[in-house]
A and B are shown apart, each in its own frame.
Chain A
Amino acid sequence: MSIYCRNLSTGMKEYSDSEIIECLRNRQSHVVRYLFDRYLPMIRLMIFRMGGSTEDAKDIFQDGLLILIEKIDDKDFVFTCKFKTYLYCVCENLWKSVIMKRKAAANYLSSASEAEAGKDINEFIDNKLYDEIFWGAFETLDDAGKKILKLYWQGVSPVQIAEQLGYTYGYVRKKKCKTQAELVDKIKKSPGYKQIKNSEIIVNSIVT
């Protein structure tokens, strides 16, 4: 089955902070969808690093956004930081409080798991997987490809990438797709990924 490589722009329109705030104040739902697509990866990664799941991330994201909408509706409140920074900080706080509650519940339900419940939040930060595999493969790419991909992940538009790096728009598009494919190949060939795939097969055979 052949699938087109994702377009460089990913089709996602970038909103400025003022646009986000105006749209949220006017209850324009498209901006919520945008925020979900744009910032859920950030919230999810933060929550993964602290022991949560995708479902946790979605719940926390919605609560975090809810808090910010309330602040936007409050005319006396002045936003003095980036929207993204607020969203991250609010979600982080919410998640820490969820962790505390879960710990408290675990303590209450099982005194035997005392040692487990007494662990610090930092102990949830365990995920070196991506750093090891993704970054390991990324570092082996050529410089031009690395720069293009890095800017692409930072949400820079292809036109701006071309401007910043002094390439043509066509080259940026081609190079990005080529490098992305190379990265996927390298990840697939990395020993860590192979190990995971093998373990996955074993796990599946046990589960099914």
Chain B
Amino acid sequence: MLRSLLIRLVSSVGVFLIIAIGLFGLVRLAPGDPADALVPIDAAPGIRDQLVQQAREQLGLDKPLPVQFALWFSSLIRGDLGYSFSTHQPVDQMLADRLGPTVLLMGSALVVGLIIAIPAGVFSAVKRSTAFDGVISSVSVVALAIPSFFLAMLGIYVFAVKLRVLPSAGMHFSGDDSISDLVYHLILPVCVLALAVAASFTRYVRSGMLEQLGLDYIRAIVAKGATPFRALMHALRNSLIPLVTVLALFIPAYLAGAVVVEQIFAWPGMGQMAVNALTVRDYPVITGFGLYVAVLVLVCNLLADILYTVVDPRVRTSR
């Protein structure tokens, strides 16, 4: 078991290397010369060529491509991702600053989503083929088909514009740093994201519960005279096992959802940073974001493998 995890770890590092080479190559393919962009256009023509040449040497662009990549990759390993073209801040610093709000948003949405999904899934499995089950499954299909940004617009329209009970954007009112104000601003974006989480997980919980409830041990528990609640808890515990790995694999998708929701609620997270960088073609920030996404996907995949073996004793002891 340890050996197979080790193989996966090594292959993940290999995949990361391939992605890093890919991103590096992509930036080199991109239109425009970064050295040329650094020098003001209105510099005198004779001096300008010299300045561009100087900038090229400073950026290391006169060296052969493999050397450039080695230099770039070694600074990357040390956490140095270069400087943003537009804000001139170090990219690693920008990523670190933006991580907090995004994690807060995604984390709250995951928690709220699971709090809705687990009971909804359990009850629709127990009350299978009833009106309750039908309503839950229709609601989750609708929730999966509605684009999050459209839902967010509807939410802003109803709660911020018409009813005026919730703020339409941002993380704080200016000058108010209290936690209650933060929570107040979190409600709408978290609800939009949590609905998507709940919709997909209700289905997983429901099908997991249906599978478990049909097994013999449940019948044995009921035959022993245990309360139905107790039997349900046993089934729930076992049906949550595959859910844990699904959850880990879904995290990158939720980051994508958060990027969109951040954009519409002007939430100062990573998504907003990436979209701003996209509009001004800020290569270092975009590359940094791309590497971050790559690491997230690979770590979540590894996490899913590890959790799978940790949570399910049959897998742990089988090899």
Do A and B belong to a common assembly? no
